[in-house]
A and B are shown apart, each in its own frame.
Chain A
Amino acid sequence: MKMKKFLAALTAAAMVMSMAGCGAEKEEPLNAASSEESQVTLSFWSWLPTNDQSEELIAEFEKENPNIKIDYTRTEQDDFFEKLQVAMASGTGPDLYGMTTGSMMEQYAKFSADMKETADEYWGGWEDKINENAVAQCTTEDGTVAGMPLLTAGMTTLMYNKTLMDECGIDKVPTTYAELKDAAAKAKEHGYVCVAAGAADDWVNSDWFVQASNEFENGAVYEAEKGERKWTDQCFIDTMNAWQKLFTDGIFEDGALGVATYPDARDQYFFARKAVFFMTGSWHLGPTSPTNSELEGTEIQAKGDVIGMEPFPSVSDSNVILGTTGVDVMICMNKDCEEKEAAMKFIEYLANGEGQQYWVNYLQGSPVSNEIAYTGEIDGELQQQSIDNVNNYVGNAAGNRKLSNSELEKAIQVAMQNVAAGADPLKELEAVQAVADAQ
């Protein structure tokens, strides 16, 4: 067994080193030794909380629990999973780690403690406190609760610059495709981009596809994922046609296929005051407050622009607006973690305690706790309205934001970029179906 672990670790390390050309990193020890007998140190790796948030969030927990120290390592989400994969393969993973639902969760479930069992033991009554649907999304196909949900988020939303809308004569945030097209014409007339979109990002594209396809036929995308219907069905062709029109009708900026959502579309277009709207998700409500730290030093803050957020307009002829939602981040406990009780205290703090409240007030996402709601100050003209409308949109979501089959998701992402570049939607969907058939 040891030899196999060694082989696994060495191979994974070799892969990373050969591709990235970097040396091996010093890994955090599992269950880092406590300096005193009563002191427990828990290693925690994730992409959330952000560096800005982690200082206050973790300091507050350590103040409440002086015998528990959290050794937090933050890594950007893309790099995080590489780091975690190598660490897990070599048996040097952290005590606690952030996770996404879907295929990633399924893969890492074998390394994670059964959250239901652990929570039942150390956190009585947790099931009444945590949103049932969110827990269901953190449950694997074989019924194991792989982690505790921390925040939920919905897709797709439209961040808007009310000041620029007024300047362009756009009376209201578009709710239909016709209104969106009209807004694009007005924005262009005044020298602005209508919607800044980062279509170079695979995740944004497939999130949009799942969300928009529900507007054409609610639930069809989930049936297709299960193999219960074809990806070449009319509702998916319609979705792809709607996607293509966003490019050909000048809704998105020229060259959106070469622009990433973060930081390019956000910083170079929306925050730089070159776009009236920005395509994003409900996790990005923060900038509706003019004092939000994300806005510091930006052009829109310098001009004192008023920012709000609304659901993305309907792209179907029915004009029905339907969002998707999902657990944006969950926390897993390493099954080798020796300090499960302390680890569960931290999980409780993040999912139902002050940590959850901090995140919710930061507008990082919607709460998973049934007992917590936004209690922060409303300091933006449109902030309350944005929070209410976006939360309502997410609350009435059609289904999950993500597909759990990574190969299918990738096939859709490739098809979407090809369609955006002018390829025939049906032909591209046939390629997606071919991937589904090969599985």
Chain B
Amino acid sequence: MNKLKMKNDKIAYLYILPLMALSFALVYYCIINTVVVSFTDWDGMSDSFKLIGLKNYIKMLADKTFWTSVVNNIIFFVGTVFVQAFVGFVLAVLLKKKLFGSNVFKAIYFLPIAMATSIITAIFRIIMDPTNGSLNQFLRTIHLGGLTQNWLGDPKIALLSVIIVNIFQWMGFSMITYYASLMSLPDDVYEAAKIDGAGFWKTTFSVTLPMVKGTTNVLIILGIVGSLKTFDLVKLLTGGGPGRSTTVMNTYLYEKAFNDFNAGGAASIGVAILIIAMIMSFLQIKLGKED
């Protein structure tokens, strides 16, 4: 019996071996290597480098731009994750009602996810152009010219503009995730709520929302990781500017690695991103369980 179990265990390990090997080569090895590089003065190209201890970390922690990028990441996270989840939830609830054309709207809301970020940013650069852009032109047409903005060129609102574009791109993902979750909810709960006299809003926020708590947690964790990974959207939309107003940790990491040839410094930022992602995900999972 024991022999059979051991044999089965070995076979099971063999099955997962290719995946483990790939994961190690493509993910864990790179993480370990990045940690090692963060203790060196490597320029990103040379064969040689020196170990410099914690110098990169000390420099990073004393660097004003690094902290600006951390704050921008936090604003980006708060501004996108919760709004995205909320809008996605509301849309999913409305689409579940099977109103006329809901399938078409479902496809429309989901469409931006299927579009490349480079295309979305190219379109939004045109839409958000302060002089020729359709957003400001629309505001002027409906006599709300006072609300026109220099969307990407004003340091005070550039990050907000980036957040809006990110929400546009990813709210469809929240919507479809919530929608899948809503479809699996039992009907009898809604019938009971109806008998108890709960209206649409009461049912939505007191019955539906608590029942999709797991989905909300998953979306928040994915949002944390996603916002920490943000790079392409910012790089292509504003390049981190004007000034440092939209610089996030990944664009700063990129600048260190590819402009300053400071791979050690870039790696230390990479490690900081990893640690922050782990801590935030851990807290979210723990809070989710406590609820």
Question: Interface on A for B, CB 8 Å cutoff?
Answer: 1, 4-5, 7-8, 10-12, 14-15, 18-21, 81-82, 85, 88-89, 103, 107-108, 110-111, 193, 199-202, 253-260, 264, 268-269, 272, 274, 406-407, 410, 414-415, 417-418, 420-421, 423
Contact = CB atoms under 8 A, between A and B. Distances in A.
The interface residues of chain B, by DSSP majority, are classed as loop
Interface residues of B, number: 47
Interface stretch (B107-115, B168-176, B181-189, B235-243): B235-243
Given A7-B33, A110-B46, A414 B243 contact: yes
A56 to B, nearest CB: 29
B150 A254 contact: yes
The interface residues of chain A, by DSSP majority, are classed as helix
A11 B158 contact: no
A257 B245 CA distance: 12
Q: 3 closest A-B pairs (Cβ-Cβ)?
A: A258-B153, A255-B130, A258-B152
Interface in B4-63: 29-30, 33-34, 37, 42-48
Given A1-B47, A256-B153, A257-B241, A15 B231 contact: no
Contacts of B239: 200-202
A166 to B, nearest CB: 22
Given A20-B232, A258-B238, A89 B44 contact: yes
Contacts of A1: 47
A341 to B, nearest CB: 27
B147 to A, nearest CB: 14
A245 to B, nearest CB: 17
Interface of B: 29-30, 33-34, 37, 42-48, 125-126, 128-132, 150-155, 158, 231-232, 238-239, 241-244, 250, 253-255, 257-261, 263, 266-267, 270
Contacts of A415: 243
5 contacts: A8-B42, A274-B131, A415-B243, A421-B154, A421-B242
Contacts of B33: 7, 10-11, 14
A421 B243 CA distance: 9
A258 B232 CA distance: 17
Given A8-B47, A11-B263, A255-B150, A19 B231 contact: yes
Contacts of B232: 19-21
A243 to B, nearest CB: 13
B102 to A, nearest CB: 32
Contact of A417 (B34, B43, B129, B241): B241
Contact of A421 (B155, B253, B261): B155
A120 B235 CA distance: 43
A258 B44 contact: no
Nearest to A20: B232
Contacts of A4: 47-48
B45 A257 contact: no
